[in-house]
Structure 1
Amino acid sequence: MRILPNRLGLRARLTLTYAGLFLLAGGLLLAVTYGLFVNQLDSGGSMIVKATRLPGPGDDPDALQQLLDTTYVETQKGDVLTGPQARDWLLAQRQELQSAAAESLLIQGAIALVVVLIIACVLGWFISGRVLAPLHTVTATAHRISAAPAADMGLGERIELKGPDDEVKELADAFDAMVGRLDRSFAGQRRFVANASHELRTPLTVGRAMVELAMHRPDASSDLRTLGADLLALNARHEALISGLLDLAGAENGPIDRRPVDLADIVEHVADLTAPEAESAGVEVRTDVGETPTSGDAILLERLVANLVENGIRHNVAGGWVEARCRSVDEHAEVVVTNTGPEVPAYEVAELFQPFRRLDRDRIVVDRGVGLGLSIVEAIARAHHGSVTAQPREGGGLVVQVRVPG
């Protein structure tokens, strides 16, 4: 059974536990001391009573009564008591002394216990703080690494805790080892992306040049030209795939160059860039923009809006439309792209943000992208500490909303 609530910090729980144990031990000590004190008073009083009943030197049977009759007591008021009155007065004085001593012990002991409890709490708080200081170092390092602007930044930092080989140092060493492995993993990923970018783009560029050269030969037949056009389309898709993968990796792991930017300018620019593709597809692109200031990487934000608009054009119907709106809402910059198109089941919307996922589950579609558009949008939004949501539009198509801090 848990005695202390979970919302208390470890330091506070250690302090309260230490103080509670001290209070329990102090109370028990006070009770035992009180019992021994009372027992000692009782023993002392009995000895006094017995002493008053000792017979005289003559060993006379009536010596006790004679002693009581001849004994007198003079009180502080000047009264002289003899015989039974003296005995009763002595017994009353003994009882009063016993009660006063017991009361004094309880009051002073309780005050001493409270004072010592306060001192114990202060010492417990100080000692637990010293004990938990290495944990604060571990936590601060973890926060700095997690607050890095990119996933692979900050992994070069280590705790390197000095001190005895206890549980806390073991935890710090395990944390350093884990961060070291993550650092090596991200470094390998960066090298792989850089090498793959160079090794894959070069043969595609050479292949495109060779196909174009063969197609433009004077003696090229119509079949050769048709085959060349198909090969160029396939080559373009492969180039788009590689560019998309690099954009996705860059958005997830790359640093963000934050500068002031107005999303309204980006939306208008993207609408102009995609106008030829929209015209050839028979889709109307319209905008509804207002001043929408934010801070971020202008190139990545342009890629975000372009992916949304291009998806709306490519996954649409003839005579359809795509609308891009941007506004400042509740200290956030908001971009909403709505498009007509085929019906989208609500349970499949979440899968559209997974890499290489499409609504028709077709991986061999050349004219509809490579299946990375919404994945890149989500990665760019997360890199800007924003969010992206999508929902089916009534009548077909999608409504995608992106919000980033304004």
Structure 2
Amino acid sequence: MRRMTIRARLTLVYGGLVLLAGLLLLGITYLLVYQRLAGNVVFMEGEAQSPTLAPGQGASSTYVKKIQGDVTSSALKAFLTQGGLALAVILVAALAFSWLVAGRLLQPLHRVTETALRIANAPDRGLHERIALDGPHDEVKELADTFDLMLARLDHSFDGQRKFIANASHELRTPLTLNRTLLEVAIDPATASPELRQLSQTLLAVNARHERLIDGLLLLARSERTVTDRSFVDLADVVSHVATVLPHDGVDVAVDAGEAPTAGNAVLLERLVHNLMENGVRHNLPAGGWVRVASGTRPGGTVFVSVANSGPVVPRYEIPNLFEPFRRLGVERAAAPGAGLGLSIVRAVTGAHGGTVHAEPRNGGGLVVTATLPTAPPEDDCAVLMATHDQQIADRCDHTIRLADGKIID
């Protein structure tokens, strides 16, 4: 059952107070009027019983007393009726006024709630936003300032974490590159023994795995920032390109690349599609596996890339864990191929472009992973200009992404 809102409760409280005050005022006024009219009746009775009255005037005094009682009763009844109607009108006006005042007083709280919802829907990428509430230094402003302080500390913490990952990854790439060079020199067939070449090949494989891990960490740290420099990208071109260069490893890959114009960073979007397709090929059946890739537009101003594959059965409760870094399904980390960052990077890149990613288990095994992104605004639709071969391309599409010689260039 939905609880009553604070605005409604405040309105009822204010209305109840007005009703109580009106009833008290009406009751007190009623007593005062009654006492006044009763006093007049006693005064007239005293005059009627005066010894100075002539014989025969007693009957007239009784008649006057009756008339006075009827007038008093009629006056009190009219007072209660008209006073009740006036109180009802005042109560309705008070409720309406209380509703408006309560809404005005609660407006800063709505602003705090809207900001919190935006940040909650944008994980840590929305932590740079602040409420910055203006107005008197009251309890509501103190709450908003405290919330801003918390956001600032969280933003600083997440930013420091990303910088640490990026700096550490950069520092580790140099010794790994040096190790690879030394190992390649050591396996010279002219000087190295078979045992040394075998050992060097094993170390090269381990070194390559570490390099992929560091590259993935760097890309993850980069993709967790909101993309500000955007260019026109048709995901259909990206899907077609990745499908031609990605090793299939005996898996049947079918592509349905429908037009999907969006705006973003071309390198990150290519990595998003690459990771989705590579994940579908890698985690598949030993023989007879397949991958289906599709892109297109949807109502509501969004585009999508969807990758479905055959493969092992994936429990629904395990799906959220697959998007966490270094998490895999049913295999040990050391024995699993890859660095375990594929879907984590997909989620980070999608979020940085203002989109969402969703995975569903297939009946019979495998997954259907769909990334949804906002469509490109009309002013960024450079595909039309490219088709006209007009000079406007140089003016409006300085960063347009095009496909040339099988490579994406910016």
TM-score bin (small chain): 0.7 to 0.9
- Which residue number in structure 2 is paired with residue 302 of structure 1? 270
**What amino acid does structure 2 have at the position aligned with 1:293?**
P
Residues of 1 paired with 2:355 and 2:27: CA distance?
61
Q: What is the CA distance between 1:295 and its match in structure 2?
A: 4.0
Q: Give the TM-score taking structure 2 as reference length.
A: 0.78
Paired residues in the alignment total 372
Q: What is the CA distance between 1:259 and its match in structure 2?
A: 4.3
**What amino acid does structure 1 have at the position aligned with 2:271?**
R
- Which residue number in structure 1 is paired with residue 3 of structure 2? 6
- The 1:320/1:173 distance shift into structure 2, 3 A limit, reads closer
Q: What is the CA distance between 1:268 and its match in structure 2?
A: 0.7
- Which residue number in structure 2 is paired with residue 195 of structure 1? 167
Q: Confirm or deny: 8 A CA contact 2:166 2:221 kept in the other structure.
A: no
Q: Per-residue CA shift, 1:124-145, capped at 9, x if unaligned?
A: 4565466446545645655676
- Which residue number in structure 1 is paired with residue 152 of structure 2? 180
Pick the aligned partner of 1:364 from 317, 322, 334.
334
Pairs within 5 Å for 1:51-200: 51-56=47-52, 67-69=54-56, 71=57, 84=59, 86-114=60-88, 116-117=90-91, 120-121=94-95, 124=98, 128=102, 131-132=105-106, 134-135=108-109, 138-139=112-113, 142=116, 151-152=124-125, 155=128, 157=130, 159=132, 163-164=136-137, 166-200=138-172
- The 1:18/1:340 distance shift into structure 2, 3 A limit, reads closer
Q: Confirm or deny: 8 A CA contact 1:138 1:159 kept in the other structure.
A: no
Pick the aligned partner of 2:366 from 379, 397, 403.
397
Pick the aligned partner of 1:320 from 277, 281, 289.
289
Task: Specify every segment of 5 or more residues in structure 1 that has no aligned partner in the other structure, as ranges.
Answer: 57-63, 72-82
What is the identity percentage for the equivalent residue pairs of Structure 1 and Structure 2?
Answer: 47
Q: Confirm or deny: 8 A CA contact 1:150 1:255 kept in the other structure.
A: no
Residues of 1 paired with 2:329 and 2:98: CA distance?
62
- Which residue number in structure 2 is paired with residue 60 of structure 1? none
Residues of 1 paired with 2:230 and 2:13: CA distance?
48
- Which residue number in structure 2 is paired with residue 333 of structure 1? 303
Q: Confirm or deny: 8 A CA contact 1:261 1:295 kept in the other structure.
A: yes
Residues of 1 paired with 2:114 and 2:292: CA distance?
45
Residues of 2 paired with 1:171 and 1:48: CA distance?
68
Query: Residue 262 in 1 paired to residue 259 in 2?
Result: no
**What amino acid does structure 2 have at the position aligned with 1:306?**
H
Q: Confirm or deny: 8 A CA contact 1:156 1:183 kept in the other structure.
A: no
Q: Per-residue CA shift, 1:23-62, capped at 9, x if unaligned?
A: 1221122023213322332232123113211223xxxxxx
Q: What is the DSSP-based 3-state SS (H/G/I as helix, E as strand, rest coil) of the residue aligned with 2:304?
A: strand
Residues of 1 paired with 2:141 and 2:251: CA distance?
63
Q: Per-residue CA shift, 1:214-261, capped at 9, x if unaligned?
A: 223731222222222222211111111122223333333443555443
- How large is the Cα RMSD of the aligned pairs? 3.3
Q: What is the DSSP-based 3-state SS (H/G/I as helix, E as strand, rest coil) of the residue aligned with 1:151?
A: helix
Query: Residue 228 in 1 paired to residue 188 in 2?
Result: no
Residues of 2 paired with 1:211 and 1:247: CA distance?
26
Q: What is the CA distance between 1:185 and its match in structure 2?
A: 0.7
- The 1:360/1:108 distance shift into structure 2, 3 A limit, reads closer
Please say which of residues 308-317 and 211-220 is displaced more in the overlay.
211-220
Q: What is the DSSP-based 3-state SS (H/G/I as helix, E as strand, rest coil) of the residue aligned with 1:99?
A: helix
Greater radius of gyration (CA): 1
- The 1:144/1:397 distance shift into structure 2, 3 A limit, reads closer
Q: What is the CA distance between 1:272 and its match in structure 2?
A: 1.0
Residues of 2 paired with 1:319 and 1:360: CA distance?
21
Q: Confirm or deny: 8 A CA contact 1:386 1:405 kept in the other structure.
A: no
- The 1:7/1:15 distance shift into structure 2, 3 A limit, reads closer
**What amino acid does structure 2 have at the position aligned with 1:391?**
P
Q: What is the CA distance between 1:188 and its match in structure 2?
A: 1.4
Pairs within 5 Å for 1:203-282: 203-216=175-188, 218-255=190-227, 257-274=229-246, 277-278=247-248, 281-282=249-250
Residues of 2 paired with 1:197 and 1:377: CA distance?
19
Q: Confirm or deny: 8 A CA contact 1:326 1:336 kept in the other structure.
A: yes
Residues of 1 paired with 2:298 and 2:274: CA distance?
21
Residues of 1 paired with 2:316 and 2:165: CA distance?
35
